Amino acid sequence: MQNTTDFPTKTLKYDPIIYSLETPKYHLLQFDANNRFAGWVFNFGKLKINSINVYNDEQFVGNFIVDGLREDVGGHVPSIAAAKTCGFAFDIKISKTLKKVLFEIVFDDASKEPFFEFDVANAFSQRVYFKKLRQEITAIHKPAGELVYLTQGHYHVEEYQNSIIPGVLNMRQYLEHSGVDLNNIHSLLDFGCGSGRYLVGWHLIAPHIALHGCDLNTTLMSWAQNNLPNQIKCLKNNLIPPLSYPDNQFELIYFISVFTHLSLNLQKIWIQELKRILKVGGYILLTLHGEFYVRNCFWQESDKIEEFLSSGFIKNASDDEGANLCGTYHTPAFVEELFQEFQLVGYFPNGRINQHRTLFQIAQSQDVYVFQYNGNE
Ligand X SMILES: C[S@@+](CC[C@H](N)C(=O)[O-])C[C@H]1O[C@@H](n2cnc3c(N)ncnc32)[C@H](O)[C@@H]1O
Q: Residue 41, interface with ligand X (CB under 6 A)?
A: no
CB-nearer residue toward ligand X: 216 or 309: 216
259: amino acid identity, one letter: F
Cis peptide before 16 (omega within 30 of 0): no
Strands 33-43 and 87-94: antiparallel
Q: Residue 257, interface with ligand X (CB under 6 A)?
A: yes
Report 310-339 residues binding ligand X (CB under 6 A).
Answer: 322, 324
Q: Are 231 and 211 in contact (CB under 8 A)?
A: yes
CB-nearer residue toward ligand X: 39 or 192: 192
Helix%, strand%, coil% for the chain, nearest 5: 35, 30, 35
CB-nearer residue toward ligand X: 115 or 255: 255
CB under 6 A: which stretch of 60-68, 71-79, 98-106, 255-263 binds ligand X? Answer: 255-263
Q: Which residue, among 366, 376, 346, has the nearest Cα to 172 in the 3D structure?
A: 346
CB under 6 A: which stretch of 82-90, 176-184, 256-264, 306-314 binds ligand X? Answer: 256-264
Report 261-320 residues binding ligand X (CB under 6 A).
Answer: 261-262
Q: Residue 220, interface with ligand X (CB under 6 A)?
A: yes
Minimum CB–partner distance for residue 51 and ligand X (Å):
32
CB-nearer residue toward ligand X: 92 or 285: 285
Give the span between the Cα atoms of 280 and 198, in whole angstroms: 24
Report the residue number whose CB is nearest to ligand X.
192
CA 296 to chain centre: 17
Q: Residue 212, interface with ligand X (CB under 6 A)?
A: no
Q: Residue 367, interface with ligand X (CB under 6 A)?
A: no
CA distances from 244 to 29, 185, 274, 285 (A): 42, 21, 11, 21
Give the span between the Cα atoms of 270 and 362, in whole angstroms: 21
CB-nearer residue toward ligand X: 45 or 322: 322
Task: Give the total of residues touching ligand X (CB under 6 A).
Answer: 19
Query: How many Cβ atoms are within 10 Å of 140's Cβ, its own excluded?
Result: 16
Minimum CB–partner distance for residue 186 and ligand X (Å):
21
Q: Is 312 left (phi over 0), alpha (psi -120 to 50) or beta?
A: left
Binds ligand X (CB under 6 A): choice among 215, 251, 291, 367: 215
Q: Are 201 and 164 in contact (CB under 8 A)?
A: yes
CB-nearer residue toward ligand X: 65 or 326: 326
Minimum CB–partner distance for residue 159 and ligand X (Å):
12
Binds ligand X (CB under 6 A): choice among 83, 175, 256, 335: 256
Binds ligand X (CB under 6 A): choice among 43, 51, 56, 151: 151
In 192-266, where do the E strands start and end? Answer: 210-215, 232-236, 250-255
Binding site for ligand X (CB under 6 A): 151, 192-194, 197, 214-217, 220, 237, 239, 256-258, 261-262, 322, 324
